Structure 1
Amino acid sequence: MTRLLIAGITSALLAGSASAAITVSTSTSGTNPASDPGYAGLALIYDFDTKSPAAGNLTGDFKIEVAPGTGIAAAPAGTPAGTKFLTVPNSTSTGSADLLLGGEFSKVSFYWGSIDDYNTLQLLDKFGMVIHSVTGLGLPAPVAANGNQSAPTSNRRVTFASTSRNIAGLRLSSTNYAFEIDSVAGAVPEPATWAMMLGGFGLLGAAARRRRTVASVLA
């Protein structure tokens, strides 16, 4: 009976992990030229102006650029002139950069500018493992990954929501100029989610202890 209980709990936990997914959604101001529709309900992590990554939290081939940017890297549409944004790569036409978020988040959102089919975004967990990957071309419709620097179809706020492994970092890669983002925001995991996971592991521990006790008595 105890073995069946442990097997059942383990299967449930593994099934929950296996079925967990990253959902991707996008939004826009609906205007042309576009502008950032904002991150209501989330907390700002980085805007690259007043809130910028601390030393070591942003590594790789990148540049913190000033809007409106250069011909190589243009600020996401609607970004106020004189404010900063992140662009990848910087020194070559192919590169990547890791942006660590300083914590774990169940939901992460950022404003993605002039989306291109050669832009790739990977979500990282706290161990630096890739938990999701998407290219500009793979974003849900009506996104147009054509690099247009003003259209609302290619300048959008993109939000990633995880039902299991929390998001701790972003890896931005591009095989051409450029991958530009601004205003990264996030939401911490719901307390109920943590309680459910801890409760499941607590049941596993209790079942294991009961099994050892029964074995000792029978011996």
Structure 2
Amino acid sequence: MNTDTAPAPLNVTLVVGSNRHGRFGPVVANWLLDRVRRRDDIVVQVVDVAEIDLPTTFARSAEATEALRTVTPKLAEADAFIVLTPEYNHSYPAGLKNLVDWHFAEWQAKPVGLVSYGGMAGGLRAAEHLRQVFAELHAVTVRDTVSFHNAGASFDDEGRLRDPSGPDAAAKTMLDQLVWWGLALREAKDRRPYAA
């Protein structure tokens, strides 16, 4: 392998997983995007479930086709994903589940970094449920996550973290792992197609 040439940046799709009115997700997403955009080894685009109108039944319709026409290419083009999820009732939101379930091949043989937020548990139960789902879809979740416990109190009124040291370090670790897995899987798929 030629080590003189840096690999092309990883195409990462950030999935914002909440569509509730008054949601806190955009605050966390903006903080995360600020960290991701500082890196030269990642190019990021966003898929926000609040901006997608996927039907909840899996019948192909004109409505579903139009929604998929805009979102599916963003998932298919990605080398890796970051999934940002709140925790609702000890799991992740229905809108996120709907987005995940409308796709299959788009997730395969790609890494997923998990960022969660919530109350005392920081959304970690939602993240753990997503690990099981992505394993079924042949995706690889990276070990380290970023979680915000009592998320609302962690940020000020302008959306800045009151104490960024822990989350910044966690984000760097998660992103470093995501890039490693993303590059490794991209190189492997270039040599040999993934067989599901």
Sort the TM-score into its range (normalised by shorter chain).
0.3 to 0.5
Higher relative contact order (CA 8 A, sep 6+): 1
Task: Give the alignment's TM-score, normalised by structure 1.
Answer: 0.31
| Larger Rg over CA atoms | 1
More strand by share: 1
Task: Give the alignment's TM-score, normalised by structure 2.
Answer: 0.33
More helix by share: 2
